[in-house]
Structure 1
Amino acid sequence: MAHDHHDDHHGHGHGMAEDLPRFEALLARRRMLQWFAGAGTAALVAGCGGGSGSSSSDSVSVVSGSTSTATPTPTATSTPTPTATPTPTATSTSSSGCVAAASETNGPYPADGTNSSSGSTSNVLTSSGIVRSDIRSSFISSTTTATGVQLQITLALVNVNSSCAPLSGYAIYIWCCDRQGLYSLYTLPAESYLRGVQVTDSNGQVTFTLIFPGCYSGRWPHIHFEVYSSLTNATSGRYATLISQLALPADICTTVYADTTTYPSSSRNFTQIGSLSSDNVFGDNTTAQNSAMTPALTGSTSAGYIGTATIGLAL
């Protein structure tokens, strides 16, 4: 509404008829100002999101003339679960309950095709009849039976790197000297006794019946053996997995060799050796190996002896 400011300086010497229109104009002007003031407040409320249809994303909080910035809620950082460090598996040739047998020489009288006797290769493994449990008799060109104190020995073949699991289907060839310290097919070329092969059963076991071998000069009383992964490999005289020897218990040796009629020179030879550690084959083995490679025997010279030994392979 337009308003002339010069009219405010006029005097009041006019009558009611003149002042009434001015009074009504002034009243109307004040109402207009009040209306504008109210409209401004409503606009401010609407601008602050006071309406029920306002979006919360558009709202701004006003406190004492300052704008408050909402503090964001921190996102929790998850602590990663540490990855467990794997325990290294120790490489060992032994497990609880069994020890890997030491590799030993097969000696000068193996008859396994690796050397000769009387000018020809000696290989009893290719001979028919070599697979047998009782090895006391010759079976090639003679039927002579070796005499002496009977010994029955069971060998259990196990894998020391697989919790001593039995190894079935393997072939074990054993041989030893007779009661006088002589070997068939060599110092006794006409004989083939005290040699034989057996295949391990589901328990990894083989059993041989032989005699308690004599003790010859320079060696601790022993039994030779070779292990093959199959009978085919054994009877072809090749690919031995292990070549080793069994040491006979000292106390049993002393008892058996006391019969100098049956074992004429063994007692003297055995006394001269002294101890297992002084033997040129067993002397460099560990105590654990010699213990495992010495069969535990029970029995007597009259009834014979029965023994067992566990042969460990580190496969």
Structure 2
Amino acid sequence: MLTRSVLDRRHVLGLGLLGIGLLASSRVGAATGAATGTSAACTPIPSETAGPYPADGSVASGQSLNVLTRSGVVRRDLRRSLGTGNVAPGVPLTLTLKLVNTNGSCAPLRGYAVYAWHCTADGNYSMYSAPIVGEDYLRGVQASDAGGNVTFQTIVPGCYPGRWPHIHFEVYPTLASATNARNRIQTSQLALPQAMCQQTYTQAAYGSSARFLSQTSLSRDNIFSDGYAAQLPAITGNATRGYSATLTVGLAR
């Protein structure tokens, strides 16, 4: 798939007041069909593997694919493929990550960049999985604002054999440096709450995700089995209207 020229990322971020904001767990009653989770406040985010499908310039799955150099990859909405314009189906998910300095009184980290990526509703990864090797959706970069926040509009990922439902992300010190994995300062993964996944996977787009979910657990997952308190976001919403997920990402800066 042909790449385009690198998008000019050297935008000057507007000045704003820095404040300390801690994300708390959100809860919606069973009548709304919402899942709940926890968002650990100012806890260092664990380092995790980028997995076999990062497309960040590193060698993975025998390839050195790099979506980070493609024009348009700096975006809020990850659902549309940059190359083909095709849209990934699935239950809408608004994901907000708040970057804070664990060595600096939990102050928000402004001007950092986050690259996020995850699988489709049926468990495939764009650019790697045979059915969608020509797509590059569900991948994108955002710069943190004055409050340390980055927000992505995406879909709830599906579940595939051997893994608990999750979202990958890498943190870079600046937006300009978010062009190759060698510049990253942290790599981690976000775990999705069980109730949210169970409700979402009743939708037709999610294929066998419900069955695969029933065959695993957070305690057996090879990434989250050693603990996931700092990686489980707070969730609001439902499978009809879509969900919002928020997580505080602690970095020692």
- Where 1:223 maps in the other structure, the secondary structure is strand
Contact 1:123 1:237 in 2 (8 A): no
Q: For 1:157, which of 78, 88, 99 is the aligned residue?
A: 99
CA offsets, 1:190-248, max 9 Å, x none?
Answer: 00000000000000001000000000001000000000001121124432110000000
- Where 2:177 maps in the other structure, the secondary structure is helix
User: What is the TM-score when the length of structure 1 is the normalising length?
Assistant: 0.65
Q: Which runs of 5+ in 1 are unaligned?
A: 1-95
What is the Cα deviation at residue 300 of structure 1?
1.2
Q: For 2:70, which of 123, 127, 132 is the aligned residue?
A: 127
Corresponding residue of 2:199 = 255
What is the Cα deviation at residue 116 of structure 1?
5.3
- Greater RCO, CA 8 A, separation 6+: 2
Q: Which amino acid aligns with 2:55?
A: A
Contact 2:58 2:180 in 1 (8 A): no
Contact 2:114 2:169 in 1 (8 A): yes
Q: Percent of aligned positions with the same letter in both sequences?
A: 53
CA distance in 1, matches of 2:177, 2:153: 23
Q: Which runs of 5+ in 2 are unaligned?
A: 1-39
Corresponding residue of 1:238 = 182
Q: Which has the higher helix share?
A: 1
Corresponding residue of 2:207 = 264
CA distance in 2, matches of 1:108, 1:159: 29
CA distance in 2, matches of 1:308, 1:226: 16
CA distance in 2, matches of 1:128, 1:143: 13
* Length, aligned pairs only: 212
Corresponding residue of 1:298 = 236
Runs of 4+ in 1 over 4 A off after TM superposition: none
CA distance in 2, matches of 1:101, 1:303: 29
- Where 2:119 maps in the other structure, the secondary structure is coil
What is the Cα deviation at residue 264 of structure 1?
1.1
CA distance in 1, matches of 2:212, 2:225: 17
Structure with greater Cα Rg: 1
- Where 2:210 maps in the other structure, the secondary structure is helix
Q: How large is the Cα RMSD of the aligned pairs? A: 1.4
Q: 1:120 to 1:246 in 2, by over 3 A?
A: closer
Contact 2:237 2:244 in 1 (8 A): yes
CA offsets, 1:43-99, max 9 Å, x none?
Answer: xxxxxxxxxxxxxxxxxxxxxxxxxxxxxxxxxxxxxxxxxxxxxxxxxxxxx9310
Q: 1:222 to 1:283 in 2, by over 3 A?
A: same
